[in-house]
Structure 1
Amino acid sequence: MDKYRIAVIVGSLRKDSINRQLARALEGMAPQDFLLTQVRIDDLPLYNQDDEAEPADAVRRLKTEVARAQGVLFITPEYNRSVPGVLKNAIDHASRPYGQSVWAGKPAGVIGVSTGAPGTCMAQQHLRNVLAYLDMPTLGQPEAFIQAREGTFTEDGQIGEASRQFVQGWLDKYAAWVRRFAQL
């Protein structure tokens, strides 16, 4: 049976990132016909238009992995009320050269977790603006601004009981969104 391949872009480089932890937990919660795979962005050079004709191997890899996916899941922390620079850098690389964006038409989901009460809401708002420009149909509802507090994750890294039903509901809505727009 074919599976929907979902490119998971985590906007944090930190090994112990709670957003990376969320990504790993979502992999185990995905429907059986979905395969969520994290895409590496930590080795991308800073975007420079001068390099578009001969992109670095890491840039080619990013573009290939996104192009092969039927959807993209962005899991972003919030840095200074916006998206992390490393995430924006990855987005910029895969959107260029102009007219050759690998993002276009890919159904997107946006989620994030933060220790702060707003739970990445400003980063998600900014990211949604960028994704609209990139012609990515993006799941609008439900929004998922998750606050990391005691019980959000279990000791083994799964979603805790208090948040599990909400997160599963969000993931199920995203899966339906992908099925609506993507083809196997």
Structure 2
Amino acid sequence: MKVTALCGSLRDGSFNMLALQAAQKLAPEGMEISIESIADIPLYNDDVRKRGLPAAVAQLRQKIAEADAILISSPEYNYSVSGVLKNTLDWVSRAPEPPMEDKPVAIIGASIGMLGTARAQYHLRQILVYMNCFAVNKPEVFIGMADKKFDENGELTDPVAIKLIGDQLIALQKLTIRLAAK
């Protein structure tokens, strides 16, 4: 099972990128998680789209199309998703053949705040409804106080977060299999 992972933070040392790297290590047997960068995705402009997709957008859309499922790690900026993540989703949600449509999606998030991106994740779920994706409902993964849950090498050390990510990936795997059978 191929999973394409997107990190909604471009920051060096991002806790959300570290969470995705932890997910790669926690993936159940038969699941491969590939983290794809969104750093080169330009600002969405429908005039540009109509003339032809920028190379970075076309490449990302292809990776998503080839994936069986998607994993998104979203930071929380001003109670919502980051601009770069929203921008990326704007590009991949457009015709022709939006590559995330009908795909299963799991969401994780890490922040130094206590709620661990809960508000951003709920906004992301609204975006995914419009995109006609199937989000994993449980377990939810909110890594609050992330600055205390990763060690100096960037390894996730919090046993609760480790278990939740592992359980969520199993749920993603089950949802992907169930949807493929229909």
- Structure 1 residues 175, 48: CA separation in 2 closer, same or farther (over 3 Å shift)? same
- Structure 1 residues 32, 150: CA separation in 2 closer, same or farther (over 3 Å shift)? same
Where do residues 17-28 of structure 1 align in structure 2 (5 Å cutoff)?
17-28=14-25
**Residues 1:121 and 2:113 are matched in the alignment:** no
The one-letter code sitting in structure 1 at the alignment partner of 2:123 is H
Alignment match, 1:137: 134
Give the TM-score taking structure 1 as reference length.
Answer: 0.90
CA RMSD of aligned residues (A): 1.6
Gaps of 5+ in 1: none
Q: Is the 8 A contact 2:112 2:147 kept in 1?
A: no
Q: Is the 8 A contact 1:119 1:145 kept in 2?
A: yes
Taking the aligned partners of 1:12 and 1:149, their CA distance within structure 2 comes to: 14
Alignment match, 1:158: 155
Deviation per CA, 1:105-150: give whole Å up to 9, x if none: 1100011011101110110000000101111011111111111346
Cα drift, residue 26 of structure 1: 0.6
**Residues 1:110 and 2:107 are matched in the alignment:** yes
Q: Is the 8 A contact 2:140 2:164 kept in 1?
A: no
SS at match of 1:115: coil
The one-letter code sitting in structure 1 at the alignment partner of 2:145 is A
The one-letter code sitting in structure 2 at the alignment partner of 1:172 is I
SS at match of 1:160: coil
Taking the aligned partners of 2:116 and 2:180, their CA distance within structure 1 comes to: 29
Q: Percent identity?
A: 34
Give the TM-score taking structure 2 as reference length.
Answer: 0.91
Alignment match, 1:93: 91
**Residues 1:148 and 2:145 are matched in the alignment:** yes
What number of residue pairs does the alignment pair up? 179
Where do residues 26-105 of structure 1 align in structure 2 (5 Å cutoff)?
26-53=23-50, 54-97=52-95, 100-105=97-102
